[in-house]
Amino acid sequence: MKNTVRKKAEGLLRFIEKSPTAFHAVREFSEMLKDAGFLELSEGTQWELLPGRGYFVTRNGSSVIAFRLPEEHAGNAGTPAGFQIMAGHSDSPSFKIKENPEIRVENVYIKLNVEKYGGMLFAPWFDRPLSAAGRIIVERDGRLYSRLVDVDRDLLLIPNVAIHMNRKVNEGFAYDPQKDLLPLYGMCGEGKSFLSAVAEAAGEKEEDLRGMDLFLYNRQKGTVWGPEDCFLSAPRLDDLECAYASVLGLIAAEPAESIAVSCVFDNEEVGSTTKQGAASTFLKDTLRRITACLSGSETGSLPEGQFTRALSRSFMISADNAHALHPNHPELSDPVNRPVMNRGIVIKHNANQKYTTDGVSAALMRMMLKKAGLRYQEFLNRSNMAGGSTLGNISGTQVSLNTVDIGLPQLAMHSPYETAGTRDFGDLVTAAEMFFSLSYSETEDGGFGWK
């Protein structure tokens, strides 16, 4: 495998390592964007946007929208610029730590009370070192402050029951999340409490804690492996792989005729219906403000029809990983549309529109990937299998525009350690960069494409 491919993959693994939760991923994205000259905006202040510049805005510290403006814009009188939007998500299935987290067992052990965040594979969470990260809220002089925290050491473990105590476990086991999946923390009467360990890791004191959003995470580091380094495995590939590719593509792209927008939403794994999720008004609010600013009226009202006109000239890629053909279970894939790792970007289709892709958006995506010299594959679920859904059709209820669902092929989706093809990641970065440098356009004879 070429050195550059491996280097790109290692960059992704470093990013994932620094991003144990959605909060940390958004902090990392913010740092990357600032380093690349993007200016941070706040939703609570007035925006003054300059042509050719890049900006970003976060919500809840766990979702981020970054954009780069064209060098020129039409102003109030002209046709508003369209948006080239690529969206991924910052969250992954995990266990959230409950309030009053400690449970004493027989006056000997301390375990933690946790609940599921999203739908995950349980088995791979057992017998491996875990830690805790997220955000805490502390009080200081009568004010509350939010602090990111990552305990960043082997701290917890969910122990299996020995085979001798459950001889039938390998024939299938129904996990009870309140019983089987609580992590062991320590010994009663020894060492500090869990919350004081967390507070200390944030440079704070337990008595100042007023709130928390803490999650377990897998401590195993990502790795590139196999002959020719063909595979990479890491926690949270779904969907940090796509989200990171999208932000890298935006940073690398030159200003274009359209407004390039990379968004990373939190809470995809729990239905997206939070104030910062894809079902929220975050994207719509941001795009409307951009159109208003470029029309010279951020403080006044948006000129009639400008936003609708901008959306009609826009295109969105909803990027979230896809199921690759499984080496032990090829029968679980569609007979024909069965993507494999290292064979390119996946275009996802579903007749019931859980994926937004239709004939038009698929053709546009294929045209663009061809232009970039990239391979692509098609994914559909077996007709007797329900499959999942993702950002595109949810975001479409707030901001409706031509959208395609894509992803990178991976194995073991929603395991705390997932596997993907090393070559595919770089392809998505290239595709994102090309996408952000193009504009969707229509001609008077009914033709449409990129320019």
Please give the residue ranges that form the binding site for Zn ion (CB under 5 A).
Answer: 238-239, 320
Asked if omega into 239 is within 30° of 0 (cis), the reply is yes
Integer Cα distance of 81 and 256 in angstroms: 10
Integer Cα distance of 362 and 428 in angstroms: 16
Residues 6+ apart with CB under 8 A from 186: 109, 110, 194
- Where is 117: in which H helix or E strand? strand 109-117
Cβ pair 339, 325 in contact under 8 A:
yes
For residue 305, the one-letter residue type is G
DSSP-assigned letter for residue 125: G
DSSP-assigned letter for residue 408: -
Integer Cα distance of 206 and 5 in angstroms: 45
**Among candidate residues 247, 439, 422, 437, the one with its CA nearest the CA of residue 342:** 422
The number of beta carbons lying within 10 Å of the beta carbon of residue 82 is 22
Q: Which residue number, 239 or 424, has a Cβ lying nearer to Zn ion?
A: 239
Q: Which residue number, 238 or 427, has a Cβ lying nearer to Zn ion?
A: 238
Q: What angle do CA 72, 63, 81 make, to 5 degrees?
A: 20
For residue 127, the one-letter residue type is D
CB of 257 to Zn ion, least distance (A): 31
- Where is 317: in which H helix or E strand? strand 315-319
Q: Which residue number, 20 or 70, has a Cβ lying nearer to Zn ion?
A: 20
Tokens, residue 379:
């994914």
Cβ pair 324, 411 in contact under 8 A:
yes
CB of 409 to Zn ion, least distance (A): 13
CB of 321 to Zn ion, least distance (A): 6
Q: Which residue number, 239 or 266, has a Cβ lying nearer to Zn ion?
A: 239
Integer Cα distance of 59 and 61 in angstroms: 5
Q: Which residue number, 57 or 278, has a Cβ lying nearer to Zn ion?
A: 278
Q: Which residue number, 119 or 296, has a Cβ lying nearer to Zn ion?
A: 119
Q: Which residue number, 65 or 136, has a Cβ lying nearer to Zn ion?
A: 65
Q: Which residue number, 239 or 257, has a Cβ lying nearer to Zn ion?
A: 239
The number of beta carbons lying within 10 Å of the beta carbon of residue 240 is 26
